[in-house]
A and B are shown apart, each in its own frame.
Chain A
Amino acid sequence: MSSVIEVRELTKSFNEITAVDNLTFTVKEKEVYGFLGENGAGKSTTIRMLLTLIRPTNGEIKIFGLDLSTHRKEILERTGAIIEKPDLYKYLTAIENLSLFAVMSGLRLDRNQLMDKLEKVGLGERADSKIKTYSQGMKQRLGIAVALVHDPDLIILDEPMNGLDPQGIADIRNLINHLSKDLGKTVFISSHLLSEMEQVADSLLIIHKGKKIAEGNMHELLSPEQSRIEIETNSASEFVQKLNQTNWGPKIISVNGKKIMMQLKKDDVPLLIQKLSEMKIDIYSVHKKNSLEDYFLSLTGD
């Protein structure tokens, strides 16, 4: 598969603060690429740079093989986006909003075509209602219709599940799967909802304080063959010091208080416990941590 987004050494600084620090990643065609990070990690800044809302301080962005700084129009003609909450013109109706953004995307659609697009997101019956009468979920669906109005090849979704009820979240999840699996679109999605991300994303990028801390295929990262084990001990520093003198040392991923996260093969777990016992290290608990949330927290240290 060819690359749709190629980001190289991307950096954005606001005065003294570096919001995005030397970020490099690649998004392949037709994949759902999850973008994870805590609040303030630099996700929205990165997405804004992908959409030319913010100028990078340094680095290079290529989308569809074209340099974003010189081919902005061609790239954005093939890109649809929701940036945080879908703010639209509250004093206009849904069909007026959709028509307006279709024109902004270079399209002139008649009422039937617009109605067809609104019906696809379940808003056909409320097409002539003003947005100020819409619920958050309806606004989100209209935001998606706006993002997809020009049938883009790349869809960038920044926290698309924010503020939605469980049914709304499920609808978005199904839509993302439909866009990717049935229509062959490339989806770049950031979200706080780790369990949802785990269900939709093919690949994953995790950033922390503006820096990339993990990237890869979701199944590889969360592979049962490569279990993450959280070990609670009375002295993490002693644990790390002693293990670093053995070949178990490189398997330590992170240390958080008295808890140590290690990445091991399933069969290595009893061997490690036996070794710790020989080294007279007190162990209070051992947990297998294999969800995306566990993985994310092990990396960010929270």
Chain B
Amino acid sequence: MSLLKIEIFKIFKRPRTYIAFSVIALIIILIQIALKFGGEEYVGLMLSGMGDSFEQIPSKDILNGYLVCFVILNLLLIHIPILVALVAGDAVAGEANMGTLRLLASKPVSRVKLLVVKFMASAFYTLILLIWVAVLALFLSIALFGVNWLGVPRELQFNIMESDDVLWRYSLAFCFAAIGLICVAALAFMLSVFSENSIGPIVVTVCVIIVFTILTQMQIPFYDETIKPYLFTTHMLGWKGFFYVRGVEGVTEKGSIENLSSIIKSAGILIGYTAVFLGIAFWYFKRKNILS
């Protein structure tokens, strides 16, 4: 436990750690300002492409804290991994670069234990970052915009949830996002073990996320069955599943989730990727010659 405290202490003593928190706060507050002053126009645009029946709904009913949070998460959750890579990619490579890795590895702590606490500290940072997102995106949005029913746009339909049917969905969505982000942290961490300089693992992780995200979002049938099911970025979007509800004749079934098994499968795949990334990292680090 004291080793974990040390690792967390080191992470939060570095100024660069706070870059991620500042960037997230800046983006979220900018989105909130934009929606506060131009939100009705934004909602109007959103509804205009969805048929006549939705045009009757007053924009102010739709524009509330829950929708603002959904919009923010939709924009942010694909970019937060880049901020996670900043710390996880630096975890081991940064120590090698500073020359402190050899000092750590010559202490009476096993390499496995050293790596476990380092990854746990990276995961802790990732969770704190996600809690920061939750506080700003959900609770600050609720404070600024209030609460009402949540309408989630989905192709040519809206999934509508009563206001008392939303908060638990966000709780689970954030838990799911945590699994996805820890998977990214594991990727950056694994690359960090192989490197002597933190720039490399951070850049490679960011490149992997960008390329995989582009492939995930490509609407090309050939990739739908050949590549997309195996990309972890595809499964990171699984959090949205908590906002896709079952309905009978246009009436939402309260407390329902349209495809829970798909969400569980995505979570399982992300955990599987995390285990593989960490397995490789541990296997290599145990054998690594620490030269720098």
Contacts and interface: CB of A to CB of B under 8 A. Distances in A.
A103 B13 contact: no
A89 B104 CA distance: 11
A54 interface: yes
Interface residues of A, number: 33
A31 to B, nearest CB: 21
Contact of B108 (A53, A54, A72, A146): A72
Contacts of B289: 14, 48, 53-55
Contacts of A252: none
A90 interface: yes
Interface stretch (A79-87, A189-197, A218-226): A79-87
A246 B6 CA distance: 69
Nearest to A158: B102
A11 to B, nearest CB: 14
Contact of A73 (B9, B14, B102, B108): B108
Given A54-B290, A55-B287, A106 B15 contact: no
Which of the listed residues A73, A84, A89 has the most CB atoms from chain B within 10 Å of its own CB?
A89
Interface residues of B, number: 24
Contacts of B13: 89, 91-92, 96
Interface in B2-54: 2-3, 6, 9-10, 13-15
Interface string A23-67: 000000000000000000000000010011111000000000000
A83 to B, nearest CB: 5
Contacts of A51: 102, 105-106
Given A48-B102, A55-B289, A87-B100, A103 B6 contact: yes
A76 B290 contact: no
A193 to B, nearest CB: 21
A103 B114 CA distance: 13
A275 interface: no
A228 to B, nearest CB: 36
A76 B6 CA distance: 19
B290 A87 contact: no
A57 B41 CA distance: 70
B108 A87 contact: no
B98 interface: yes
Nearest to B107: A104
Nearest to A12: B289
A105 B102 CA distance: 14
A76 B106 contact: yes
B251 interface: no
B2 A146 contact: no
A198 interface: no
A39 to B, nearest CB: 15
Contact of A87 (B6, B9, B98, B109): B98
A98 B107 CA distance: 13
A108 interface: yes
A48 B290 contact: yes
Contacts of A76: 106-108
B290 A101 contact: no
B276 to A, nearest CB: 25
A77 interface: yes
Contact of B291 (A48, A52, A146): A48
Contact of B106 (A83, A85, A100, A108): A83
A157 B289 CA distance: 19
A88 interface: yes
A113 to B, nearest CB: 16
B67 to A, nearest CB: 41
A52 B291 CA distance: 11
Nearest to A105: B107
A103 B3 contact: yes
Contacts of B109: 73, 104
Given A48-B290, A55-B289, A89-B98, A101 B103 contact: yes
Contacts of A83: 102-103, 106
Contacts of B105: 51-53
A53 B102 contact: yes
B99 interface: yes
Interface of A: 14, 48, 51-55, 72-77, 79, 81, 83-85, 87-92, 96, 100-101, 103-106, 108, 146
13 contacts: A53-B289, A72-B108, A73-B109, A77-B108, A81-B106, A88-B103, A91-B13, A92-B13, A101-B103, A103-B2, A104-B3, A105-B107, A106-B108
The 6 A-B residue pairs with the shortest CB-CB distance, nearest first, are A87-B99, A76-B108, A51-B106, A53-B290, A104-B107, A77-B108
Given A73-B109, A146-B103, 16 more contacts: A48-B289, A53-B102, A54-B289, A55-B287, A74-B108, A75-B108, A76-B108, A81-B106, A84-B99, A85-B99, A87-B102, A91-B14, A100-B9, A101-B107, A103-B6, A106-B108
